[in-house]
Amino acid sequence: MLFGGIEAGGTKFVCAVGDEKKNAIKRTQIPTTIPEETLARVIRFFEGFELDAIGIGSFGPADVHPKSPTYGMLTTTPKTAWRNVPLMQRIHDRFRVPVGFQTDVNAAALGEAAFGAAQGLDSCLYITVGTGIGAGAVIHEKLLHGLSHPEMGHILVRRHPNDEYPGRCPYHQDCLEGLASGPAIEDRWGEKGVLLKEREEVWKLEGYYIAQALMQYILILSPQKVILGGGVMKQELIWVHIRQYLKELLNDYIDFPQLSSRMDDYIVPPQLGDDAGVKGALVLADQARQEAKGRGD
Ligand code: ADP
Ligand code: ZN
């Protein structure tokens, strides 16, 4: 059995062909330029393989609702050349196999659940802190999905009393993403996060907000592992402050070692690094195959 996995990102597409165990037997990266060019290269990569199913984890916003008429399409993405591109349909039209379609964050969550930091557990939460803040929750190998996919980056947090930065979310202004995303850091401190490494106050404030969000996610979902990825999480200092604030906030209310002495092993970076998305896309492919089989397609 062979699966195709596509992590469709705003700067690059990572594609892999995986065997039955989702081990990548071939892999490539293709720059995201204009849709015609990028998709032609993606299709060329998979040609010559007898794929059983394909999974796509896509940048967005994209429509991930199977019943919607625009399912599998990129919608209001800021990358204007990609607006209204029926990404899933294009791939399906060419290969005629079941295609699974999810957000990039959800695909990465599935990848980490199946093969990464949460391997062997029944549940996990994967959060990315980068250009935006988003999260995917996996329970028994399935993504938590309801009316839509969760939008955990836009929850409200208590403002730090000394923080005068107004926030930059176009919808909610000072929601978590508005206050703590990579662009918010750059806006507030006047420099990109990567150049603020030595500025403890930057990462302390960042930890203050992310810890509040984690407290809410943990209280609501009770995941067995919390995985934090994305560019901003590459800063070492942030981890110390997140764990410290979180311990203070929870205040031993939940009596589990994961939330006290063993927090270092509970709130962790992704184990698959940059491969989480494409690995998750291979899992999505398998799930799409099984669903199609269940429907008798
Ligand atoms: P994206 O979210 O676009 O997929 P990233 O996860 O790399 O990509 O997030 C990009 C954001 O993270 C930018 O705002 C960037 O300034 C910030 N960022 C990237 N690398 C670092 C770093 N090492 N330290 C702090 N901030 C970073
Ligand atoms: Zn918001």
| C-alpha to C-alpha distance for 95 and 15, rounded to whole angstroms | 15
pLDDT for 60: 85
Ligand 1 center to residue 187 CA distance, Å? 13
Domain annotation covers residue 294: no
Contact 114, 107 (CB under 8 A): no
Whether residue 281 lies inside any domain: the answer is no
Within a domain: residue 33? yes
What crossing angle do the helices spanning 276-295 and 104-115 adopt, rounded to 10°? Answer: 90
Ligand 1 atom at minimum distance from 132 CA: 2
The residue type found at 87 is L
73-77, 79-83, 199-203, 253-257, range with greatest mean pLDDT: 199-203
Residue 89 scores a pLDDT above 90: yes
Phi/psi for 254 (5° steps) reads: -100, 120
User: Which pLDDT band, with edges at 50, 70 and 90, does 78 fall under?
Assistant: confident
- Residue 256 CA from chain centroid, whole number: 26
Q: Residue 6: is its pLDDT beyond 90?
A: yes
If 0-12 CB within 10 Å is exposed, 13-18 middle and 19+ buried, where does residue 176 land? buried
* Position 161 in a domain: yes
What are the CA-CA distances from residue 118 to residues 102, 123, 219 (Å)?
19, 7, 19
Closest ligand 1 atom to 129 CA = 6
**Ligand nearest to the Cα of 131, by number:** 1
CB contact set of 249 (below 8 Å; sequence gap of 6+): 211, 212, 215
Pair (261, 124) in one structural domain: yes
Q: 157 forms bridges with which residues in the sheet?
A: none
| 88 & 126 share domain | no
**Ligand 1 binding pocket, CB closer than 6 Å:** 128, 130-131, 182-183, 186, 192-194, 230-232, 234-235
CA of 232 to the centre of ligand 1 (A): 5
* Same domain membership, residue 226 and residue 125: yes
Claim to verify: residue 81 and residue 152 sit in the same structural domain: no
Tell me whether residue 109 is in a domain. Answer: no
| Structural domain that includes position 48 | 3-103
Q: Are residues 93 and 198 in the same domain?
A: no
Q: Which of 232, 234, 274, 278 to mutate for ligand 1's pocket (most ligand atoms within 8 Å of CB)?
A: 232
Tell me, what DSSP letter sits at residue 230? S
Contact 31, 11 (CB under 8 A): yes
Instruction: Domain count for the chain, please give it.
Output: 2
Q: Measured between alpha carbons, how far is 57 from 125 in angstroms, rounded to an integer?
A: 17
- CB-count exposure of residue 27 (10 Å: 0-12, 13-18, 19+): middle
- Domain-terminating residue out of 103, 129, 144: 103
Q: What is the CATH number of the domain that holds 136?
A: 3.30.420.40
Condensed to tens digits (0 to 9), the pLDDT of residues 219-260 reads 999 999 999 999 999 999 999 999 999 999 999 999 999 998
**pTM of structure:** 0.94
163: tokens are 């923080």
